[in-house]
Structures are given as structure tokens and as C-alpha cells.
Amino acid sequence: MKDFLPISQEDMKKRGWDEVDFVFVTGDAYVDHSSFGPAIISRVLEAHGYRVGMISQPDWTKAESVTVFGEPRLGFLVSAGNMDSMVNHYTVSKKRRMQDAYTPGGEAYKRPDYATIVYCNLIKKTYKKKPILIGGIEASLRRMGHYDYWSNKVKRSILMDSGADILMYGMGELAVVELADALAAGIPAEDITYVHGTVYKSKDVSDVLAGLRGKKGIELPEFSNIVEDKMAYAKSVQIQYENTDFATGRPLIEKYGEKRYIVQNPPMRPLTTQEFDDIYELPYMNAWHPSYDKQGGVPAFSEIKFSLTSNRGCFGGCSFCALTFHQGRVVQVRSEESLLREATAMTKEPDFKGNIYDVGGPTANFFRPACDKQLSHGACVKKQCMHPELCKNMKVDHSGYLALLRKMRNLPGVKKVFIRSGIRYDYILGDRDDTFFKELCKYHVSGQLRVAPEHVTDHVLDLMGKPRASVYHTFVQKYEKIKKELGLNQYIVPYLISSHPGSTLEDAVALAESIRDMGYMPEQVQDFYPTPATLSTCMYYTGVDPRNMKKVYVTTNPHEKAMQRALIQYRKPENYELVKEALLKTGRKDLIGFDFKTCLIPPRKMGDGPKGPGDKSPRKDGKPKGNSNGKNRENSRKTVPSHKSRKK
């Protein structure tokens, strides 16, 4: 029967079940769609013959909230949801968010802080001996000792604090089936120590260190050391990043006191195209559970209902992004046939209006591995694919993606196919054939081409793992040429980050000058957010780049961070005093004046009107002001509830 998985005893009995094999506890509302991790894992288990009951957003103050189905036959699955619960709850300034896109009606506070830990502890109160398997982005990025921005402390592996038995990191479809089969065969959870893509607790790691079960393990600095010594923490992070590949990754061991260890097995292998297709063509309901209808549904689902996931994994290597640590660098791609079948099914939906809003993944135009050797030998350990420049062995090829888009936009009922996932512009420039670039602009951009240069000073870009400023300028020039040839009325919207490690106040002023020269005012600014397990977060905490242990300038001062952020939006009246202070502090009084071509702000605060002929930012009513020729540019980073989104 095609239906939602049970959420109650009544649902379970309708299926003729007297028990479930697994109870899945998640911090998100129950949305049965392939962009939601819990939906994928539960449907994969169902496809392998296991019975799964869903408990979404239980009341963590009441133990009975996790007893809906009674005791499961095999165990509990626990995930905080599609986002780390702390990122879900707090802004970078640690202020509470007022909405939660993954909760019915957008209501906030329906899950606890550190949700994975709280849910596991809740389960343990009633089912002390039942195995608990944890996964999802929160567990994956906190799998070893990690810096936690919100408490400003180095925390233990989430496996220790949650009391769970096994942690699945990365994309867990293959691992969860292997674990389920082992539990079904009667193997105790503490003995399931061989599954790739998992982390477990142990009292004896001599066999791992000796390589008796495969590759020899690597001892990370002990947890007590990384708490006391920031350089030891940086060393640990670098070792972990050098072991994120399925082919080259070795077991990692982190010691906690006497005879207590956390062991991370090597990453799980990538999915084959057939496996990828099969997973995304499981019988999802492609809807939120009908019990949420009265609250207006789940806001996050509206963003992705008519979007397609075409790939996963990313060889882009941005330092502030957790994708390498979570999904790995080897890109996996669905088949054209599978994607077209899903697109065709979308066109049959009663509320489909003819627009497919995205065909992509972490990076939309990565539609093949970076080079041919990666599928067999993995990604290079000591070398990045795209930084400081494109590797000479990289195969830049948009032909497969281009062929897919052409067929998709010609499907009956489809009017437009947009690309809203990230586009790597340096990869586009690496393509000797401009056909994809031209068709991207002509058919797949809804007035604004969103790209992410992130900054303009090269030493900051190097720390970010992003291409040099000259590469972005070359891309813009080429884009303007193509736009002119095609007679298009569209614009580039650059995403920018303030206060990233390495960025001084002088660098922020340089970024403001670049924005002035663009004649564009960003509507939103992304202040650097130190999320768990990224290289940039390590820089933020330790003050060194873990790749070479060189010192990095880091601003943690809230006032300086506010100045850096304000400089990106220097035309906003409310930012005037901060911008003026920053300019005076950096000796850039030359940028204060009435020459709008060279200055940032006037000598005195002025009203909220046009700031000169270059000001093309919208007014409060959304209409353009100044000499903008009626062009309203809006920089809006959408919330995309999938593995596509960059982890902020």
C-alpha cells in the first residue's frame, strides 16, 4: 500500500502490524519527500522489508512521547532533522530565531537544543537496553570531539553524550541497511563494529591499530588534549579532513580517559547511479503528513516540492562548508531517465504551474566526478580539485547536465526549468565550450544569476578555499558579454560573507569598495557562522589554518563583526555610524564625501533616499530608487531543506 508510514498505533494496526522493527524519532515535522533525510532512511528500510514507525517532534519533557509504538523489535533511529538543531534555533549573533521552516506553521521551539542528545536520553529512560542508532547532519558533524560555537567549548563526540550505540555519518542509506540486517540477525549492537560510514564506542582498539580488520587506524589527539590545547585540536581536524574519502580514509580513534574510545570507520562508498535512482524513486508521498494541514503545512516543503536532486557530493572544497565532511568529494549523479521520470510525475500534480524550480545538488553544475580516477581511487588526500586553481586532471564537462536540461524543459507541461542550487563559476570558465553558459543564462535564470564569490581579497579567498578575485572578474566580464549577445535583462547577484577568518577591517573596507563599483547593494549579508566540523570553524576557534598551522587573523569581537557586516550594506542609514567608525579606524577618511563614484558615505548622516546614480538598491516598498532603470535586484538566500544547501 502506498501511504505515509505509521505515526500512531492506529496507523500501525491498519497495516496489520503488531509491532515495528524501528521507531524513527526526528526533530523535523514528518514530510515524506526525498529532500528530507528521515524520509529517505525510513523508505530505504521499508524497501528492505523493515517496519518503521515515525515520531516527529516529540515533547522532550515527557518520556511517554517516545512510547507511541511501544518497544520496537530492533531499535530506535534518532535524527535532529535536516539541520543542526543549534543552527536551526540561533542566528550567528546567538539570538533565537522566531520561525522554524521544518515545523508545521513555521512555529518555533518545537524541538530542544542539541536535539539528538535530548531525544536519546529520553529514550534511554524507558528503553534502557534497546539499541539506538543516530544520524543526520547534527550527528554527522559532531561525530568526534568538536568545537561548539554556542557554548564556546570543545564538546565530546555526540555518541558519548547521547548514550547512543552507533552513529551513522554522511549519507546513511547503505550503512543503515547493513546495520538493520546485523541487528535482525541477532548481533548485539556493541559487536557491530565493521560497517563503513559508522562510529562506535570501544574499550579496546588494539585490533584497529594493528590493522587486523583492514586499514591501520590513526590515533587522533586525546580528547583531554584538544580541550586544553588549540593546536592539538587543529591537528585533529586536519587528520579528520584527510580521511573523508571512501578509498583512502583510514579508521580514526579518539581516546576518552582510560580505556574509552570513539572509533570512526572509513567512509561508506559512493552510491552507484542505479542505487541513487532506486532511492529517489521509492514510493514517497511527496507531501507533508495530512495531520499538519490545519497549521498550513510545513514551510520548508514549499521550497522544494517542485525541485529535483540530481547529484550529491562536492569537490568544490570551500573551507566554511561542511559538505566535504558530510557527503565527501566524490560526486554521484542520478541517471537522466530517473530525473525525467520524476519531472514528468511533477507535471501531473494538480498545483504544478509549469515551473521546475531547481535541478541540482550541493553544486548544480557538478554532474560528474572531478576526474576519472576518483570512482576507483578516491579524491587526492593532500590536494584540492579546484584550489588554488583547477587541477590539470579535472574533466570539465557540462554536456550531460546540458542534455538533461534540454530534455526537461521540453517536457509537456513544463514552462521553465530554473537552477537555484549553487553554480561554480570557475568550473564554468574551465569549460572551453560556452554552450552551457549561454543556455544557463537564456533558459535557466529567473532574472538573477546567483553566484558566490564570497569576498574580494585574495588572502581571505585562499583561506575560504575560493577562487581568486581575478577569476570572478573574468566570469563577470564573460557573463556581461553573453548577456549582451542574447539581449537579456538579468543580473548577477553575488553572495558575500563578512568576518570570515582572515578578514580584517581593512579587508571589509575593500569589499565595500568592490560593492560600490558593482553599483549593487546586497539585501542580505551572511556573517560567518562557525558551525561544527568545518575548516573555517577550526580557524575561528584556534586562530590557525589547520592545513599549514599558520596564524590567521580572527575577529570574535561583536562590535568589529558588526562593522564588517555594516560595510557590506554601507548605504543603509542604520549602518551609517558603524561604517563611519570603520572608515576612520582604518584611515580611510577618503571614502567619506559626496563623490558617489569614489566615496561610500557622505560626511553626515542623510535620510533614506537615493544615495547617488550608482544606487540600485530597492526602497522599502520594493520599488527601485535612484538611477536604476527600473531594475530591482534582490539578494535572497532561500532555505532549501535538502543535502543541496550549503551549511552555514
What is the rounded average pLDDT of the residues 157-165?
97
Mean pLDDT, range 273-287, rounded to an integer: 98
Distance CA 87, CA 85 (A): 6
Q: What pLDDT is attached to residue 523? A: 81
Continuous segment of H or E residues that includes residue 261: strand 261-264
Asked if residue 99 has pLDDT above 50, the reply is yes
Percent of the chain having pLDDT more than 70? 93
In the structure, what pLDDT confidence band is assigned to residue 628 with cuts at 50, 70 and 90? very low
Q: How confident is the model at residue 607 (pLDDT cuts 50, 70, 90)?
A: low
Its CATH class, for the domain covering 9-195, is: alpha beta
Which amino acid is residue 578, in one-letter code?
A: L
What is the DSSP code string of 89-109?
Answer: HB-TT-PBPS--TTSGGG-S-
Distance CA 543, CA 530 (A): 13
Confidence of residue 303 (pLDDT cuts 50, 70, 90): confident
Q: What is the pLDDT of residue 596?
A: 85
pLDDT above 60 for 633 = no
Side chain identity at 270, as an amino acid letter?
Answer: P
449-469+476-638 and 306-446 share a CATH fold: yes
- Find the distance separating the first CA and the last CA of the chain, reported in whole Å: 39
Per-residue pLDDT band at 646 (split at 50, 70, 90)? very low
pLDDT tier, 214 (very low <50, low <70, confident <90, very high otherwise)? confident
Every domain of the chain and the residues it spans? 9-195, 306-446, 449-469+476-638
DSSP secondary structure letter of residue 16: T
Domain boundaries 306-446, CATH class: alpha beta
Q: Which band of pLDDT confidence, cut at 50, 70 and 90, is reported for residue 393?
A: very high
Residues in contact with 392: Cβ distance below 8 Å, sequence separation at least 6, in sequence order = none
Instruction: Please provide the average confidence, as pLDDT, over all residues in the chain.
Output: 92
Flag whether pLDDT at 612 surpasses 50.
no
pLDDT tens profile 324-383: 899 999 999 999 999 999 999 999 999 999 999 999 999 999 999 999 999 889 999 999
Looking at residue 645, what is its pLDDT? Answer: 40
Q: What secondary structure does DSSP assign to 120-181, as a single string? A: HHHHHHH-TTS-EEEESHHHHHTSSSEEETTTTEEEPPHHHHH--SEEE-SS-HHHHHHHHH
Mean pLDDT on 62-91 = 97
What stretch of H or E contains 288? strand 287-288
Grade residue 606 by pLDDT with cuts at 50, 70 and 90: low
Measured CA to CA, the distance from residue 309 to residue 330 in angstroms comes to 16
Residue 587: pLDDT over 90: yes
In contact, 564 and 501? CB cutoff 8 Å: no
pLDDT at 592 over 60: yes
What is the pTM assigned to this prediction?
0.91
Dig out the grid coordinates for 325 from the structure.
565532511
CA–CA gap between residue 512 and residue 520 (Å, rounded): 10
- 564-570 average pLDDT score: 96
pLDDT at residue 605, as a whole number: 81
pLDDT of residue 416: 97
Inter-residue contact 627 to 290 (CB < 8 Å): no
User: Taking the domain 449-469+476-638, which CATH number applies?
Assistant: 3.30.750.200
Under 8 Å CB-to-CB from 559, ≥6 apart: which residues?
none
Distance from C-alpha of 419 to C-alpha of 569, rounded to nearest angstrom: 27
DSSP E strands in 428-486: the ranges are 448-454
Share of the chain above pLDDT 90, in %: 88
226 three-class SS: helix
Mean pLDDT across 515-540: 92
- Mean pLDDT over 145-159 rounds to 98
